[in-house]
Chains A and B, each alone.
Chain A
């Protein structure tokens, strides 16, 4: 029973995770949060419009953030009257655990 539950649970997690990552705007949001954690909705919107020339409404950005939060990739925290968004890369481990990355010695190995 426990094993079955675990499989089902990780399937749900994976679905949300892959859906969240499938969208280019959401990946840009993750890039910006990787550059600097602890951003307000306003700052994320500014970065998307000014740095990336993405014309998207605040409501649209809110929805993207909700999808990222459902996948566990973004966490929010209240600090006084403000709400900040942080990146959480822990769920990405599901991907590496499912399809482990093996070191492949040889000329193709990346140096970076």
Chain B
């Protein structure tokens, strides 16, 4: 078994596509219309085009808002991405106007930071030094 696809709920798929590709630097993998307004929209890492896809899923279901609001209030990220250098990525994203709820925090071998993806989620970036 492999982890082929994982997902985050996004408030607005067009906005999410821009944020995840133009700001975060992922590349679009699939974009298939579903129904009248929704799309099957996935992105992958530029470094791993054949790797795990991230589905940017519409957040229309009524359970999504209370679930996400409660997690966001407590600062809990809904996805985690690996980066080479959290501090450098923090500076780069801050320069692009991204808002962080947790600045880079070094905890032994792990450094993490948490930002708002502007589509309703908090995302953690992490660097693990061997």
* A83 / chain B contacts, CB cutoff of 8 Å: 73-75
A21: min CB distance to chain B, Å: 24
Task: Tell me if A96 is interfacial: C-beta within 8 Å of chain B.
Answer: no
Is the Cβ of A81 less than 8 Å from the Cβ of B73? yes
Task: Tell me if A46 is interfacial: C-beta within 8 Å of chain B.
Answer: yes
What are 29 of the A-B contact pairs (CB < 8 Å)? A39-B102, A40-B74, A40-B75, A40-B101, A40-B102, A41-B74, A41-B75, A42-B77, A43-B75, A43-B101, A43-B102, A43-B105, A43-B114, A46-B102, A46-B112, A47-B105, A47-B107, A50-B107, A50-B108, A50-B110, A51-B108, A81-B69, A81-B72, A81-B73, A82-B73, A82-B75, A82-B101, A83-B74, A83-B75
Most chain A Cβ neighbours within 10 Å, of B75, B77, B112, B122: B75
Which residues of B are at the interface with A, using a C-beta cutoff of 8 A? 69, 72-77, 101-103, 105, 107-108, 110, 112, 114, 122
Is the Cβ of A41 less than 8 Å from the Cβ of B76? yes
**In the bound complex, CA of A40 to CA of B101 (Å):** 7
**In the bound complex, CA of A50 to CA of B112 (Å):** 11
Task: Report, as a range, how many residues of chain A touch the other chain.
Answer: 10 to 19
Interface SS, A side: helix
* B103 / chain A contacts, CB cutoff of 8 Å: 36
Task: Tell me if A94 is interfacial: C-beta within 8 Å of chain B.
Answer: no
What residue in chain A is nearest B102 (Cβ atoms)? A43
Please name 9 further chain A to chain B contacts, defined as beta carbons within 8 Å, in addition to the given A40-B101, A43-B105, sorted by A numbering.
Answer: A42-B114, A42-B122, A43-B75, A43-B102, A47-B105, A51-B107, A51-B108, A81-B72, A82-B73
